[in-house]
Amino acid sequence: MIHQLGQVMLYVNDQKKALAFWTEKLNFTKISEEENEVMRWIEIAPQSGKGSHIIIHHKETVAKMSPELHLGTPSLMFFAENVENLYEEFKKKQIIVGEMVEMPSGKIFNFADDEENYFAVMEVKDSN
């Protein structure tokens, strides 16, 4: 029985640039970095340590190893408290953000990484 989503694979053109985006602009933590003779991957996670981890892979390398894989950007929805402050913080860091939208479930906006892969953030109330 599946009980949790452990990792999400994110395929990028430039792993160094992607790592800098996620750790420097979004304050994610680098958990590990592994490399063997075939490939290199970097594991990151939100500083809270909650939720799934993201594994950053080099798109071209994975495509050569497994041409049958779909290497598109996954649709990731992140949860955060105080989305309005986060939205303003992203803009100050010159992260591309979409319009803030009010949904029945709360406020939501999308943002793009440096390779123009888009993700979304939805407001959640404190779960404590």
CATH code, 112? 3.10.180.10
Task: Tell me the backbone φ, ψ of residue 52, rounded to 5 degrees.
Answer: -75, 155
Whether residues 57 and 4 share a domain: the answer is: yes
The answer to whether the CB of 42 falls within 8 A of the CB of 29 is no
Is pLDDT of 2 > 90?
no
C-alpha to C-alpha distance for 5 and 53, rounded to whole angstroms: 9
pLDDT at 53: 96
- At residue 127 the predicted structure's pLDDT band, cuts being 50, 70 and 90, is low
Q: What is the pLDDT of residues 40-80, one digit of tens each?
A: 999 999 988 788 999 999 999 999 999 999 999 999 999 99
Number of neighbouring beta carbons within 10 Å of residue 108: 18
Same-domain pairing of 46 and 107: no
* Number of domains making up the chain: 2
Distance CA 12, CA 32 (A): 17
Q: Do 98 and 55 belong together in one domain?
A: no
Same domain, 62 and 79: no
Q: Contact at 8 Å (CB) between 26 and 8?
A: no
Q: Which pLDDT value is given to residue 48?
A: 82
- Residues 80, 70, single domain; the answer is no
**pTM for the predicted model, two decimal places:** 0.90
Per cent of the chain over pLDDT 70 is 98
Between CA 83 and CA 126 the distance in angstroms is 12
